[in-house]
A and B are shown apart, each in its own frame.
Chain A
Amino acid sequence: MKGFHTLLVAVAVVGGGALWYAAQRKPAPASTRTPDRGAPPPVAATDGFRGFTVGSDSAAVEVVEYSDFECPFCASFATVQMPVIREQLVAKGKVRWRYRDFPLPTHAYSRYAALAAQCAGEQGKFWEMHDQLFFRHDWAQTGKNPRSLFRDFAKGIGLDLDRYDACMDGQRYAGRIQASVEEGDRLGVNGTPTFFVNGRRFEGRPTSDAFTALVDSLTRQRKSKT
């Protein structure tokens, strides 16, 4: 009996220690990707979905952004630079912007947020949800389950909540997100946000001024060729 009590105490101490360790452990840096982390690997979709876009189909320049809704750098870009880009480049027909999901496995709710945006996209409100997720980014700092908050976002942007719930519960677009991740992997994306401008990786500091200069340059080149 004494041996059993010793075993019981040992299990309690080891288990309690493991819980304490888990609670103390800091998350890995937000902008780097560690491929062996435990993100669920759903089957990649084969529906050929290429990401939600904003801007004219006839724009001379296309920017593809690989982003993660939980990433603070992505949120900073979306809230500081993107509004200017939308106004100065997208709205003027110079750029078509394509958003691709690249949820980092170091983040607890990245895929869930990506799923929420996809489910909003199903109802034609991807960009509205995109803005909610980035502009109200507190959820990414608290570490708390954002399910009800995302549902509030969905309600706030006027989604049909029954359809949204069904979409989320069924993980309807998990495969699309995985396909986007695999595509990013093939392209060598190793952090977020990563940009490709007309297929070439953008290496500079992602500011609205930098994109404006590059887009103007590419547009001029295209005009001079024609």
Chain B
Amino acid sequence: MRRRQAVVLLALGGLLLALYLSLYKLGLIGTLQCGTGSCEYVQTSRYAELLGMPVAFYGVVGYAALFVVGLAGMQPRFANDRRLTVLLAALSSLGLAFTLYLTYIELFVLRAVCRWCVGSAVIIAAIWALSMWGVRRTD
């Protein structure tokens, strides 16, 4: 149960972060608070969009899905439901793969790092680790 709580909390954090980047892409936030990163370069590059949609929107959808599945998994009747554990693992693996692709683009194509993207990468990696741990524990 603790693991799913952690997943839900992390997914909520990721959702807020992705929403922030989405609002920026929609022009509702003037400037990204980026500190010493290269958020502007990354977010204005052609890789910040995929199939005509800003990458941040995929983040919103992905984290929202993880949040809902994680929250459902906390209900007593699903507490020992392995299908939700596997679903969480599958969703987080998909998210991690996408994040690894984006991180590769940042490091080796754009040669610029957006700290919000790093934050999201840390969150999805933590969710993935917790989800995989859940899969192993229920074997």
Given contact pairs A23-B28, A23-B29, A145-B27, A11 touches B12 in the complex (Cβ within 8 A): yes
Quick one: which of A153-204 are within 8 Å of B by CB? 165, 168-171, 174
Q: Is A67 an interface residue (CB 8 A)?
A: no
Partner-contacting stretch, out of A76-84, A107-115, A128-136: A107-115
A11 to B39, CA, bound (A): 24
A26 to B29, CA, bound (A): 9
Quick one: which of B32-71 are within 8 Å of A by CB? 32-41, 43-48
Closest B residue by C-beta to A108: B31
B18 to chain A, nearest CB (A): 11
Closest B residue by C-beta to A41: B36
Closest A residue by C-beta to B16: A15
Q: Is A48 an interface residue (CB 8 A)?
A: no
Closest A residue by C-beta to B43: A145
Contact of B30 with A143 in the complex, beta carbons under 8 Å: yes
Contact of B27 with A38 in the complex, beta carbons under 8 Å: no
Closest B residue by C-beta to A112: B44
Across the interface, which residues of A come within 8 angstroms of B25, CB to CB? 145
Quick one: which of B74-119 are within 8 Å of A by CB? 74, 109-112
A40 to B45, CA, bound (A): 15
Q: Is A142 an interface residue (CB 8 A)?
A: yes
Across the interface, which residues of A come within 8 angstroms of B41, CB to CB? 40, 111-112, 171, 174
A50 to B120, CA, bound (A): 39
Interface bits A1-33 vs B (CB < 8 Å: 1, else 0): 100100110011001101100110111000000
Contact of B30 with A108 in the complex, beta carbons under 8 Å: yes
Across the interface, which residues of B come within 8 angstroms of A109, CB to CB? 40, 44
Q: Is B123 an interface residue (CB 8 A)?
A: no
Given contact pairs A22-B23, A145-B25, A38 touches B112 in the complex (Cβ within 8 A): no
Q: Is A144 an interface residue (CB 8 A)?
A: yes
Q: Is B122 an interface residue (CB 8 A)?
A: no
Contact of A12 with B111 in the complex, beta carbons under 8 Å: no
Count of chain A residues near B, Cβ 8 A = 39
Q: Is B9 an interface residue (CB 8 A)?
A: yes
B82 to chain A, nearest CB (A): 21
Q: Is B130 an interface residue (CB 8 A)?
A: no
Closest A residue by C-beta to B112: A171
Q: Is B132 an interface residue (CB 8 A)?
A: no
Q: Is A118 an interface residue (CB 8 A)?
A: no
A223 to B100, CA, bound (A): 66
The 3 closest A-B pairs by CB, nearest first: A15-B16, A144-B27, A143-B27
Can you list 30 contacts pairing A with B, beta carbon distance less than 8 Å?
A: A7-B9, A8-B9, A8-B12, A15-B12, A15-B13, A19-B16, A23-B28, A27-B30, A27-B31, A37-B31, A38-B33, A38-B34, A38-B35, A38-B39, A39-B40, A40-B40, A108-B30, A108-B32, A109-B40, A111-B40, A111-B41, A142-B27, A145-B43, A147-B46, A168-B45, A169-B45, A169-B47, A171-B110, A171-B112, A174-B41
12 further contact pairs, Cβ within 8 A, besides A112-B40, A169-B46 = A1-B74, A19-B19, A19-B20, A23-B28, A27-B30, A38-B32, A38-B33, A38-B34, A108-B30, A109-B40, A147-B46, A171-B110
